[in-house]
């Protein structure tokens, strides 16, 4: 399983200024749905707030380009939920509209000041493909965690985003992490870094291992505290997570007053070269690929996130959001597909499972919605790393069965609560 | 502008490349030398059994799947592999109808009536073999079946041991299948093929090693009881290990994916118990030639129970 190890860094981060049409969904991880605060036809400046919500955990959204609002509509985001969108056409001309920089030491600032600034500057969890609920929240009523972990490595093979960000601006990542620690009130700050980058950070570090899924947040958090989410409950009280890019954004938001306008993304074609680019939020996938001389054609598979836990996209015109860590293209010939067949009991999934789940029995129950039985086989221990589906001899879509069962379980729980 | 039609699927987007067809064809490929030695010894007699067995197994699978209305899955090679294994367990020269009955029993009674691959509680090959062995014992006896083939004489390895003729079973003849017996008697080649399967991670190695361990222990504890009473000769454990389909059992029959457990400890116990039981039946039982077959079949019945022996999942303290 050589493929499942993380590769060394490829290049410097390329800036891709972008111009033309941007699509910005008004939904982001950790925030309630935002309200657009611009109208169709309005002129917007670079950095102007275009979406906001008054709930205390919601980070605002800003226009990455100077231009005109073309449309307000709804679309399915690449994380798979329907959300309102703002469509902007413009270019990167002009200065970025910034907030007032704050220069006091982190120790002198109050948690509230930092929190408000992060919210106003749009610092919501960056990366994680929009689905990691373990990220630190800015809710003031939440109990402060014991540890704030800064993940300076990427969860999956192929992805290189976080390590590049750390290499580019280590001092900003450290500064931002300190500010974020202040905002959430964590007692300890831990940097999770890969072995070749330990010299870039200071303070408490956790060296992450080379092999998937040992950089999975759940596994890293368990390594840190000795406890898994199942025993700790959700949200966890012992450890919260942000990644290097979020920390850097926090630093820029406080020290420079600069809102989050771009996202760093690893872009590549399977089997070919990948590069790390920084693009304005809302840039369309097709544009990002075009810049690399790539094009999605009929039968290809385009996915955001990593190759094991990512999300396949149906529309090459989808936008890059704050959650997009990776963007990859698999050419038609190499696309692997699952089959709707029976489990033959080869036991490979049982061997590979990092959580020691009897995956063969569990997924057989998941497939047919037998949630109680699936729970007896430790459905709730699963961290959805996807390794079982990777090794499955029958080529069953095991991760889908698991996600389906978890959703059904969630629905049943909601029904029970409302009854 | 025409819109792109992309392939959309659930994650992961990578796969290790493992597959049912891959496993079946690798297993058949490594068994080819074994079959070749069988054909060398018994000529067209062995070739006929091999061809008829594989053919009728595939026919039975296709017919049954058509009747039930399921997709025909001959392409995954599992029916062909069942046929090949069954043929290697049969002596050359058995009547053609016996081969057909055995193959149909294996695929239909052993596999398809439960819902096909993945659902059968017992190893299909073994079900087919047991069916004809119990029903037509005389025809299945290698000494009888081979009587009308030229240039062969003597006793099968196990029959010789039971009779106390230790000198009639030299190790090198046992290795290469030179003694009369089933077509797949070249057990050294079976072992080599099995090691290839281990290296390619096609089979459950815990089951294989557990099985060999069980056979060895049985050998040490009561192996010499196989000789007639009063005999003061001793049995070479290696002869026991390489005769009577032990190698086929260890690497190709016992690790059958569906009928064996999947939890690490359960796999060891399963293999070990099957090996020990195989020796008990060989030494003390009436169907001593089928010790391996009956041993594995009986322990398969306990397989779902054994699979309950599993570690606590992480996070479940």
Question: What pLDDT score was predicted for residue A32?
Answer: 82
A310 → closest Cβ in B13, B115, B315:
B13
What element of type H or E holds A276? strand A274-280
Nearest residue on chain B to A233, judged by CA atoms?
B315
Contacts B307 to A, Cβ<8 Å: 358, 361
With beta carbons under 8 A apart, name residues in chain A contacting B122: none
Question: Which distant-in-sequence residues (6+ apart) come within 8 Å of B150 by Cβ?
Answer: none
Q: How far is A300 from chain B (nearest CA, A)?
A: 5
Write out A60-127 in H/E/C secondary structure: CEECCCEEEEEEEEEEECCCCCEEEEEEEEEECCCCCCCCCCCCCCHHHCCHHHHHHHHHHCCCCCCC
pLDDT (tens digit per residue) in A355-407: 999 999 999 999 999 999 999 999 999 999 999 999 999 999 999 999 999 99
Distance CA A319, CA A77 (A): 8
What tokens appear for A175 in the block? Answer: 């500064």
pLDDT band at residue A297 using 50, 70 and 90 as cut-offs: confident
- Integer-rounded Cα Rg, in Å, for chain B is 21
Cross-strand partners of A91: A66
| Shortest Cα distance, chain A CAs vs residue B134, angstroms | 28
Q: Please compute the mean of the pLDDT values over residues B16-31 and round it to a whole number.
A: 95
**Chains A & B: contacts with CB separation below 8 Å:** 163
Distance from CA of A337 to the nearest CA of B (A): 7
> Which residue of A346, A352, A399 to mutate against B (max B Cβ within 10 Å)?
A346
Q: Where in chain A is the domain with CATH 3.40.50?
A: 2-9+99-255
Buried b vs exposed e over A146-178: b needs ≥16 C-beta within 10 Å? ebbbbbbbbbbbbbbbbbbbbbbbbebbbbbbb
Contact between A114 and A254 (Cβ < 8 Å): yes
Q: Which two tokens stand for residue B310?
A: 């599993």
Q: What is the rounded distance in angstroms from the CA atom of residue A403 to the CA atom of residue A399? A: 6
pLDDT, mean of residues A234-253: 88
The whole-angstrom separation of Cα A144 and Cα A137 is 10
User: With 60 as the cut, is the pLDDT of residue A335 above it?
Assistant: yes
A273 CB burial (10 A radius; 0-12, 13-18, 19+): exposed
Question: Cα separation of A70 and A85, whole Å?
Answer: 11
For B194-210, how does the pLDDT look when each residue is reduced to its tens digit (9 = 90+)? Answer: 999 999 999 999 999 99
Task: Name the closest residue on chain A to residue B10, using Cα atoms.
Answer: A400
Distance from CA of A354 to the nearest CA of B (A): 8
Ramachandran region of residue A181, left (φ > 0), alpha (ψ -120 to 50) or beta?
A: alpha
Q: Which residue in the set A230, A301, A400 is minimally distant from B13, CB to CB?
A: A301
Tens-place pLDDT, residues B148-164: 665 565 678 888 888 88
CB neighbours (10 Å) of residue A416? 8
Residue of chain A whose Cα is closest to the Cα of B309 = A358
Q: How far is CA B165 from CA B159, B227, B231, B233, in A?
A: 9, 8, 10, 9
- Cα dihedral sign for A294, A296, A298, A302? positive
- Residue A8 pLDDT greater than 90, yes or no: no
CA–CA separation, B152 and B142 (whole Å): 11
Chain B residues close to A309, C-beta within 8 Å: 11-12
Which chain A residue lies closest to B315 (C-alpha atoms)?
Answer: A228
Residues of A in Cβ contact (< 8 Å) with B261 = 347
The pLDDT of residue B184: 93
- Residue B117 to residue A344, Cβ atoms within 8 A: yes
CA distance A189 to A145: 10
Both tokens of A183, joined, read 């905002």
Q: Any idea of the CA torsion for A247, A252, A255, A259, to the nearest 10 degrees?
A: -120
Nearest Cβ partner for B6 among A310, A316, A381: A316
| pLDDT for the residue numbered B149 | 62
R_g (Cα) of chain A, nearest Å: 21
Place of tokens 């955990």: A57
Evaluate whether B88 touches B102 at the Cβ level (below 8 Å): no
List pLDDT tens digits, range A304-320: 999 999 989 888 888 99
Q: A93 vs A8, which has greater pLDDT? A: A93
- How far apart are alpha carbons A408 and A380 in whole angstroms? 12
Tell if the CB–CB gap between B14 and A335 is shorter than 8 Å: no
Within 8 A of A344 by CB-CB distance, chain B residues are 20, 117-118, 257-258
Q: Averaged over B39-47, what is the pLDDT?
A: 91
pLDDT (tens digit, 9 = 90+) per residue, B89-130? 999 889 999 999 999 999 999 999 999 999 999 999 999 999
On chain A, the residues whose CB falls within 8 A of the CB of B7 are 299-301, 312, 330, 332, 335, 337
Q: Which two tokens stand for residue B267?
A: 């796999």
- Structure-block tokens of residue A264: 């760093």
Task: Output the CA–CA distances (angstroms, integers) from residue B180 to A415, A417, B113, B215, B244, in the order listed.
Answer: 69, 72, 35, 22, 11
What single string gives the DSSP state of each residue in A333-396?
GG-------------HHHHH-TT---HHHHHHHHHTT-HHHHHHTTGGG-----HHHHH-SS--
d(CA A19, CA A65): 8
Distance, CA of A4 to CA of B228 (rounded, Å): 58
Q: Residue range A175-179: average pLDDT?
A: 95
Helix residue spans in B123-178 (DSSP H): 124-135, 137-140, 142-145, 157-163, 171-176
ipTM of the complex: 0.91
Nearest-angstrom CA–CA distance, A399 and A17: 37
pLDDT tens-digit profile of A11-61? 788 888 777 899 999 988 777 889 999 999 999 999 999 999 988 888 999
Residues A301 and B258: their CA atoms lie apart, in Å, by 33
Task: Look at A303 and B13 and tell me if their CB atoms are within 8 Å.
Answer: yes
- Two tokens at A65? 């380009």
Q: What is the CATH number of domain A2-9+99-255?
A: 3.40.50
Quick: pLDDT tens for B218-265: 999 998 888 888 877 888 889 999 999 999 999 999 999 999 999 999
Per-residue pLDDT tens for B46-68? 999 999 999 999 999 999 999 99
Q: State how far residue B315 is from chain A, nearest Cα, in angstroms.
A: 5
pLDDT beyond 60 at A1: no
CB contact under 8 A, A358 and B307: yes
Rounded CA-CA distance A355/A219 in Å is 9
Chain B hits for A217, CB-CB cut-off 8 Å, are none
> In 3D, which of A230, A206, A195 has the Cα closest to residue A148?
A206
Q: Specify the pLDDT at position A6.
A: 64
A64 vs A74: CA distance, rounded Å: 19
In 3D space, the residue among A113, A138, A135 whose CA is nearest the CA of residue A126 turns out to be: A135
Using CB atoms, pick whichever of B8, B258, B315 lies closest to residue A314.
B8
Q: Report d(CA A126, CA B256) in Å as an integer.
A: 47
pLDDT at A10: 64
Residues in chain B: 317
CATH for the stretch B20-306? 1.10.3430
Tens digit of pLDDT for each residue in A195-235? 889 999 988 999 998 888 898 888 898 888 888 877 666 66
pLDDT digits (tens, 9 = 90+) for A268-287: 887 777 889 999 999 999 99
Q: Going along A221-352, which residue ranges are E strands? A: 239-243, 262-269, 274-280, 301-304, 311-313, 326-330
**Token pair recorded at residue A188:** 């300890």
Q: Which residue of A has its CA nearest to B76?
A: A394
Q: Which of B13, B200, B254 to mutate to test the interface with A (most CBs of A within 10 A)?
A: B13
Contacts of B232 (CB under 8 A, 6+ apart): none
CA dist., res. A333 & res. A174, Å (int): 43
Q: What is the pLDDT of residues B273-307, one digit of tens each?
A: 999 999 999 999 989 889 999 999 999 999 999 99
Mutation to test the B interface, candidates A226, A356, A362, A373, most B Cβ within 10 Å:
A356
Chain B residues within 8 Å of chain A (Cβ atoms): 4-16, 18-20, 23, 115-119, 201, 204, 257-264, 267, 307, 310-317
User: How much of chain A exceeds pLDDT 90, in percent?
Assistant: 55
Who contacts A375 (Cβ-Cβ below 8 Å, separation ≥6)? Answer: A409
Residue B137: pLDDT over 70: yes
Using alpha carbons, list the distances in angstroms from residue A360 to A277, A357, A367. Answer: 40, 9, 11
Yes or no, beta carbons of A312 and B14 under 8 Å apart: no
- Give the per-residue pLDDT at A172: 96
Residue A410 CB neighbours (<10 A): 11
Q: Is the pLDDT of residue B1 over 50?
A: no
The three-class DSSP label of residue A240 is strand
Q: Kindly identify which residue of chain B lies nearest to residue A80, measuring between CA atoms.
A: B10
Termini Cα distance of chain B? 58
Q: What are phi and psi of A273, to 5 degrees?
A: -80, 145
Residues in chain A within 8 Å Cβ distance of B4: 296-298, 300, 316
Instruction: Find all residues with CB under 8 Å of B34, minimum gap 6, and list them.
Output: B88, B184, B186, B189, B190, B193
Residues of A in contact with B317 (CB under 8 A): 231
Residue of B2, B14, B81 to mutate when probing chain A, most A C-beta within 10 A: B14
Would you list the domain boundaries of chain B? 20-306
């Amino acid at each position: 399983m050589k493929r499942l190890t993380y590769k060394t860094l490829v290049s410097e981060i390329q800036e891709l200024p972008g111009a033309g049409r941007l699509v910005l969904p008004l939904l982001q991880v950790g925030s309630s749905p935002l309200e657009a605060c611009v109208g169709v036809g309005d002129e917007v400046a670079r950095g102007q707030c275009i979406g906001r919500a008054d709930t205390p955990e919601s980070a605002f959204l800003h226009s990455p380009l100077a231009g005109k609002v073309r449309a307000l509509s709804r679309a399915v985001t690449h994380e798979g939920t329907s959300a309102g969108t703002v469509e902007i056409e413009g270019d990167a001309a002009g200065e970025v509209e910034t907030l007032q920089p704050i220069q006091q030491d982190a120790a002198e600032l109050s948690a509230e000041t930092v929190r408000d600034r992060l919210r106003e500057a749009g610092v919501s969890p960056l990366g994680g493909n929009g689905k990691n609920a373990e990220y630190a929240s800015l809710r003031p009523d939440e109990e402060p965690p014991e540890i704030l972990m800064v993940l300076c490595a990427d969860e999956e093979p192929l992805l290189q985003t976080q390590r590049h960000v750390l290499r580019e601006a280590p001092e900003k990542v450290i500064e931002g992490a300190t500010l974020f620690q202040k905002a959430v009130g964590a007692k300890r700050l831990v940097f999770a870094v890969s072995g070749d980058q330990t010299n870039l950070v200071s303070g408490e570090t956790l060296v992450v291992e080379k092999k998937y899924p040992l950089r999975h947040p759940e596994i890293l958090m368990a390594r840190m505290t000795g406890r898994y989410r199942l025993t700790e409950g959700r949200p966890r009280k012992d450890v919260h997570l942000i990644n290097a890019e979020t920390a850097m954004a926090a630093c820029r938001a406080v020290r420079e007053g600069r809102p989050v306008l771009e996202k760093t993304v690893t872009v590549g074609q399977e089997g070919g070269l990948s590069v790390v680019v920084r693009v304005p939020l809302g840039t369309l996938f097709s544009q990002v690929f075009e810049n690399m001389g790539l094009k999605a054609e009929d039968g290809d598979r385009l996915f955001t996130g990593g190759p094991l836990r990512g999300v396949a996209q149906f529309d090459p015109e989808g936008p890059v959001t704050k959650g997009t860590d990776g963007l990859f293209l698999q050419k038609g010939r190499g696309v692997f597909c699952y089959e709707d067949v029976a489990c033959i009991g080869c036991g490979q999934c049982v061997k590979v499972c990092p959580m020691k789940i009897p995956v063969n029995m569990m997924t057989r129950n998941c497939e047919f919605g037998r949630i109680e039985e699936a729970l007896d086989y430790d459905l709730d221990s699963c961290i959805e790393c996807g390794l079982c589906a990777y090794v499955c001899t029958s080529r069953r879509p095991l991760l889908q069965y698991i996600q389906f069962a978890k959703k059904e379980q969630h629905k049943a729980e909601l029904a029970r609560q409302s009854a | 502008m025409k819109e792109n039609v992309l392939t959309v699927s659930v994650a992961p987007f990578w796969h290790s490349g493992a597959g049912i067809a891959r496993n079946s064809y690798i297993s058949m490929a490594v068994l080819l030398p074994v079959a070749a030695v069988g054909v060398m010894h018994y000529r067209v007699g062995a070739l006929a059994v091999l061809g008829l067995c594989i053919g009728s197994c595939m026919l039975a699978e296709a017919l049954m799947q058509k009747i039930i209305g399921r997709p025909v899955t001959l392409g995954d090679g599992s029916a062909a592999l069942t046929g090949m294994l069954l043929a290697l367990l049969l002596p050359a020269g058995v009547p053609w109808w016996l081969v057909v009955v055995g193959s149909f029993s294996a695929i239909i009674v052993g596999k398809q009536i439960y819902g096909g691959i993945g659902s059968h509680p017992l190893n299909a090959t073994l079900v087919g073999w047991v069916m004809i062995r119990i029903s037509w014992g005389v025809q299945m006896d290698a000494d009888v079946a081979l009587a009308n083939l030229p240039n062969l004489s003597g006793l099968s390895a196990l029959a010789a041991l039971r009779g106390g003729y230790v000198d009639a079973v030299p190790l090198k003849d046992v290795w290469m299948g030179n003694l009369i017996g089933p077509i797949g008697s070249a057990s050294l080649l079976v072992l080599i093929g099995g090691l290839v399967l281990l290296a390619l991670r096609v089979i459950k190695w815990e089951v294989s090693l557990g099985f060999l361990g069980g056979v060895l222990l049985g050998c040490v504890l009561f192996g010499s009881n196989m000789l007639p009473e009063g005999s003061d000769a001793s049995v070479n454990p290696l002869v026991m290990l390489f005769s009577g389909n032990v190698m086929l059992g260890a690497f190709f029959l016992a690790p059958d994916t569906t009928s064996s457990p999947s939890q690490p400890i359960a796999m060891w116990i399963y293999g070990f118990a099957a090996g020990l039981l195989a020796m008990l039946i060989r030494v003390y039982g009436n169907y001593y030639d089928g010790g391996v077959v009956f041993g594995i079949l009986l322990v398969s019945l306990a397989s779902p129970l054994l699979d309950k022996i599993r570690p606590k999942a992480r996070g479940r303290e």
